[in-house]
Structures are given as structure tokens and as C-alpha cells.
Structure 1
Amino acid sequence: MDAVVIMSRIPVPGKTKTRLEGFLTSKECADLHRAFLKDILTMRTDKNKFLSYGDEGPLELVENILPYDVETFPQRGENLGEKMKNVFIHLFSLGYENIVLFGADIPEITETDIENALKKLKKSDLVFGPTLDGGYYLVGMKKIHEIVFSDEIKWGSASVFEKTINLIKKKGIDVDLIDIQEDIDTKDDLINLYKRIKNTSVCKNTEKFVEGLGERIDGKTNR
């Protein structure tokens, strides 16, 4: 069985997308995160889907945007590595054989990205989707590889992906990649995203939110 997992904070003001504060208010940061989730959750796949959520606030804050076929469970762990590992442990314990996990900072992720990751996972031990800032937005595995969650990795740094790959290579583990993406953490990231999705058929909730920023975004994108 295959599982697709979205790992996300609960969009609470002051608890999410905080690197955008100053350009956005804390409430707008939470609303942007909510728009990302709405776009990601519209993705159609025949795989079993899960949302693993943080402790920033109650799940009720996002229940009204959850499709009926998305199951939920809380994140557990002290850091990102522990939380990801516990997601995989939980789903492997339920009998899933191929698991793809990704974050909520990539609203442009598509069904094709997920299918590519699962396809590559059939032939490789691990699959990653790298980001432009040196991290990764997706990881897939078919059994636990503890090295991916090593304490040697400085979570949130620009070396996360490079360090992870280097550790994996030392173990002789077979790894494959899917397309690189830009996660949305800063003002420039958001402006670049808007340029890509404006007047397209993707990320409609995010596009609507950013358009609502008015001159703040128009003044930047029209330069």
C-alpha cells in the first residue's frame, strides 16, 4: 500500500510563516499558510492521504478545508527529524509499504510530482525533492532509514539536503530525486511564486490571497 502525507503546522498567527512577518501581518502569514493547504489538499490522487499536524493550535482550525478522504494524526517529537521519523514509523506500523511525505511550503506540488516520487521509490531506497534554498520538500521511503533523521543534520539550515545526501552515500543507500522546487519562506519567494502562478490554473487559493495584498505585491511584481 502507498501513503501520501502532508506534514504541516496549524496556521495560527505568530506560529507559522514567521519569516514573512514585516511584509505580512502575523494573521496574513497564517492566512497564506491556510491558502497553501487548501491548494495542496485539492490535489487528486488515488493513494491514501494523511495530514500530520503540529501543536500550534487545535485541528478544528483546518477541519473545514480537509477533504473527506484525508486522515489526520498529530506530529510527535522534539525536532523536525524526530517528527518526520515518527510519521514514517506510524504509517509503516499500519502496513503501508511506500510512503511519501512532504511539507506545506510548496503549494505548486502536483499529482505528477507525487507519482514520480512513488515510481522512483519502487527502484530506489529513498527519494527526495530538493529545494532551491538547500533543503528538501519531499522524502519517500519504503523502510526506516535512521540516517535521514540523524542528529548531525542541522534542521532549518541551508545545508540540510547536502548533509543528508552525504550521510546517505556513506551508507551506500540508493537514492533518487524528483524536480527541484522553491519553498515559500520569504518576501522574494512569495513574489516569485505569484509571478509563476498569476493567471494560471494552479494554486488558485494562493493566487487569490496574494492578489488581496494589493499594492504591496503589485508594486513589487510590476517592477
Structure 2
Amino acid sequence: MLRSSPRALLIFTRNPVPGKCKTRLAATIGEKAALDIYVFLLRHTAAQCTGLEGVQKMVYFSESPGDGVIWDTEIFEYRLQQGTDLGMRMQHAFEDAFKSGYGEIIVIGSDLLDLSTADLENAFELLSDNEAVLGPAQDGGYYLLGLTRPVPGIFHNKSWGTKTVLKDTLGDLKNFRTALLPVRNDIDQYEDIEGNPVFEPFLNKE
């Protein structure tokens, strides 16, 4: 696909397969409920990204390309993640985007109920005046990372999924102009959805 914008949004997602997504959440509420919640979050993310204009949108699947049901192929370009851990997979995706000529690149996950189109627009606008933008997550990681040029080591030596990721990433960015977005809560375990009425229908199914 030809590049149509200097801005690229990389959306990292796991294929919605029982037992292979939201495993920490599934440990508490069961695989079926966890899968239903994940599909709900995927649809939410797709809707928010669809409303983003002037940006090339690429969905990076964990195992195999989607079937077009959630991610409209007229809007999203399909890619496969490459690498043995999350850091390597994101590094490969950023390298590919930079080589393709994009100058403002943002990566997000697909499990953030709080994410809106306005958040994504704001993140790209911040990249107009900064070299990096970071969206801190409540668990000590990040839900969004944007770069205008490669940052050595930013995807290396991280304990992915732990509370040290944000701190270590900010250390990698200490010499870069970096903007921070509001702290948000991504959905990884039961505590992340507990008490939220949005998720009650998924938990009360017979």
C-alpha cells in the first residue's frame, strides 16, 4: 500500500482466540467471559481509530491476519508482528514504518476502554512539537508510545508487563523532548474491570 500520510498508527492486537488472550483476566472470570470482553475492547479500539483522519492505520496481529469483521480492510492495513517478545515486535514495526517514510509514528494496544479518538488526535499533535509522546498506564507500563525518530534501546531490556516499564522507558527518553498524556487504565486483570458497569453484562451471563 502506498504511503498516504507522514503519520502512522500501529495497533498491536492479539487474535481473539480462547485461552490465548486476556489470560490473567480469564484466570478469574473464565475464558469465555474474558474473550467476550476482549472482543468488545477490540471493537471499541477499532471504532476510535476509524474516526482518526489523516493517518495511515496498520493493525499488527499476533498470529494471523484478521477476517475483516472487526478491522475494516478499507480502513486498516493488515500486518503480522515479528519478534520473540513485545519489545522486538514493536521495534520491528517502528523500523518498518520509519523506513517507509513516516515521520510521526504511534503504537497503541487494543485493550483500553478509556481510549478515544480525541486522545489519538492529541497525541499526534504533541508529536508536532516533541520527539516522543508517552501515555502512562496505571500499572506502571504505557498504553501509547509515539516517536518522530528512533530512540536507541527503547525496546530493549524491559520486563514487559511489569510496573518498571514506564520508568525504564522514561529513562531511555531523558535526552528527548517528551510529552506525557493522562494516566489511563488498560484492561489486564479482574481488578481493572471490577465495579465498572460496562463489563457487568459479560460477567452475568449464564
Q: Deviations over 1:91-143 (max 9, x none)?
A: 12222111111001212211111111111111111110000110000000111
1:45 aligns with 2:52: yes
Shift of 1:8: 0.8
Once residues 16 and 202 of structure 2 are traced to their aligned partners in structure 1, the CA distance between those partners, rounded to angstroms, is: 18
Q: 101, 105, 118: which is aligned to 1:112?
A: 118
Q: What residue number does 1:159 align with?
A: 164
Secondary structure of the structure 2 residue equivalent to 1:50: strand
Q: What residue number does 2:204 align with?
A: 214
Secondary structure of the structure 2 residue equivalent to 1:133: coil
Shift of 1:215: 7.6
Contact map agreement 2:36 2:202 (CA 8 A) in 1? no
Once residues 94 and 168 of structure 1 are traced to their aligned partners in structure 2, the CA distance between those partners, rounded to angstroms, is: 23
Q: 70, 92, 97: which is aligned to 1:91?
A: 97
Unaligned runs of 5+ in 2: 1-5
Shift of 1:6: 1.0
Secondary structure of the structure 2 residue equivalent to 1:52: strand
Percent same amino acid among aligned pairs? 29
Q: RMSD between aligned alpha carbons?
A: 1.8
Q: 123, 127, 130: which is aligned to 1:121?
A: 127
Once residues 161 and 127 of structure 1 are traced to their aligned partners in structure 2, the CA distance between those partners, rounded to angstroms, is: 12
| Matching residue's letter, 2:181 | I
Q: What residue number does 2:71 align with?
A: 66
Contact map agreement 2:62 2:80 (CA 8 A) in 1? yes
Shift of 1:34: 1.3
Aligned residue runs from structure 1 range 3-18, under 5 A: 3-18=8-23
TM-score by length of 2: 0.89
Once residues 2 and 177 of structure 1 are traced to their aligned partners in structure 2, the CA distance between those partners, rounded to angstroms, is: 19
TM-score by length of 1: 0.82
Question: CA distance change for structure 1 residues 42 and 188 in 2, over 3 Å: closer, same or farther?
Answer: same
Q: What residue number does 1:143 align with?
A: 149
- Count of aligned pairs: 197
Contact map agreement 1:37 1:107 (CA 8 A) in 2? no
Q: What residue number does 1:78 align with?
A: 84
Contact map agreement 1:51 1:70 (CA 8 A) in 2? yes
Normalized per residue, which structure has more helix?
1
| Matching residue's letter, 2:201 | E
